[in-house]
Amino acid sequence: MRSSLRALIGKVDRPAWLRFFGAVAGLSLAMMAALYSTVFRESGDLWATALLASLALIIAGAVAITTVPYLARRVAVRRLTQSFQYEFTKIGGVFLLFIIVIGVAALNTGNNLLFIVVSAMLAAVVVSGLASALVLSGLELDILLPVHVFAQRKMLGRVSLHNTRRLMPAISVSVTPKLRKKKVRRKWQRTLWTFAPGKPAEQAWVRLNDWVWKPVAESRAQVQILEGAVYFPYIAARTGAIADVELRFDARGRYVQQGLGLATRFPFSFLTKTLPVPFSREIIVYPPVEQTDEFFEVLPLITGEFQAFVRGRGYDLYRIREYMPEDSARHVDWKATAKTGALKVREFTREDERKLRIVFDNPQANIVSGEAYEKAISLAASLAWHFAGEDAQLSFAAPSYSGGSGEVYDFLKYLAVVAPAAGASILESLQVTDEYNIIFTARARGSIPTNFWTSSYFIFMES
């Protein structure tokens, strides 16, 4: 008991309390001086009245200048600047309409009972506002999101709300992602106005450049993570509650959540009161890795050529098989040929035979269509995800890609935010190694270096 009392005393801000009591004493003296100045004014003593009134004014001014700012700086800034957002509900609108009607009737009739009813209804609105403010105070919010998120795949996030108050529970609280409707940004944008009845725009009779006041398209980074409200009916004092939220993102990219809100309609649902909560969270959504029809069409071809590449460039014996016209004569096994009477060749393998490199040759803007570009990214992500689960040593190459560890998540993160950009093709600087390459490119077949053809599988992005 004594230790807790000492700890409580130790937390007391003594200078602030001394200033407070000094301010109370000064204001008491100022009030006494003001009262005595009134007495002397009634008795006709002009000089005493002026002196005491001036003294009261000086003391009050000194307290206002020296004490009030000092104490204001020690008040919790969050409590002073805590601003609520209000939104009328249908119930609140009807209730307000009834107040106006009864108030007008009270003024016209002079009936005291109607004035009492109006006063009670106004008091209910005030009580509702105070109660909802108390419900929203003392709540701590946290959101847990998955580390790796894929587009077009359902995942779970977790919203936790903790009530730090000692006695009062939290009743009917919602975590809302959108605090207010944001204004649509607009700017003047240049457009082409054409007049061509029944003809395409290229054959227009009249073509004029025009400026239009248009809304700016929202970038992918502005999309919020949470789209719906999460409701908590009851949270007891000094306890917390957890709610699982289903997350699903339709497209790859960077998603940002800026700000959340704690909202309640408790107790009468006249208003929806929302308390803004500072919150900032960003996640990277990887491209979808679902096995599409295009994936099943390409995978057997890649696997077959990859295995042929592995068997054909080795040092340890893999198998002895029949001679094929495309085989080199240096691989003929003459002993096996003499025993069987037919040409036999040896196939070799290596200890590091399953080296695979996925190359994404990012094209320039307007080279390929947006749909073809997204399909290429999705296929590259799917192949990377597939071979990461196989017994293969993966590596990746792409313009501005710095992940040299061969970690598939680094490459997926690159594909999540990549966009067509100007620059030279990566094939110009890429070195041919003992790895087998899966190359995504939009270049023409004739412009591809010939040294890649024997050790690569090309997937061409359609224009």
Burial bucket for residue 358 (CB in 10 Å: 0-12, 13-18, 19+): buried
pTM over 0.85: no
Peptide bond into 267 cis (omega under 30): yes
The CB density around residue 317, as the number of other CB atoms within 10 Å, is 11
**Measured distance CA(376)–CA(292) in Å, rounded:** 12
The verdict on domain 82-178+224-286 having CATH code 3.20.20.140 is no
**Measured distance CA(396)–CA(209) in Å, rounded:** 45
**What pLDDT shows up at residue 231?**
92
**What pLDDT shows up at residue 7?**
56
**Measured distance CA(315)–CA(210) in Å, rounded:** 69
**What pLDDT shows up at residue 203?**
59
**Measured distance CA(388)–CA(406) in Å, rounded:** 10
Please report where in the chains the tokens 């690159």 appear, as a residue: 414
- Cα–chain center distance at 458: 36
**Measured distance CA(79)–CA(72) in Å, rounded:** 11
Domain extents in the chain: 2-75, 82-178+224-286, 188-215, 293-305+352-460, 314-349
Please spell the DSSP secondary structure of 400-455, one letter per residue. T----S--HHHHHHHHHH-----S--GGGTPPP-SSEEEEEE-S-GGGS-GGGGGG
The amino acid sitting at 86 is: Y
Whether 286 contacts 151, CB under 8 Å: yes
Q: How does DSSP classify residue 332?
A: B
One digit per residue, the tens of pLDDT, for the chain of length 463 reads 555 555 555 555 677 777 778 888 888 888 888 788 878 877 877 788 888 878 877 887 777 777 766 666 665 444 444 577 888 888 888 898 888 888 888 877 778 888 888 889 888 888 888 888 888 888 999 888 888 999 988 888 899 999 998 888 999 999 988 654 444 455 555 555 565 565 555 555 555 555 555 555 444 444 577 878 899 999 999 999 999 988 888 889 988 888 888 999 988 888 888 888 888 888 999 999 988 888 888 888 887 777 666 655 555 566 788 888 767 676 788 888 888 888 888 776 554 457 888 999 888 888 888 888 999 999 999 999 988 887 678 889 888 887 666 688 999 999 999 988 877 788 888 887 778 889 898 888 777 877 777 788 888 887 6
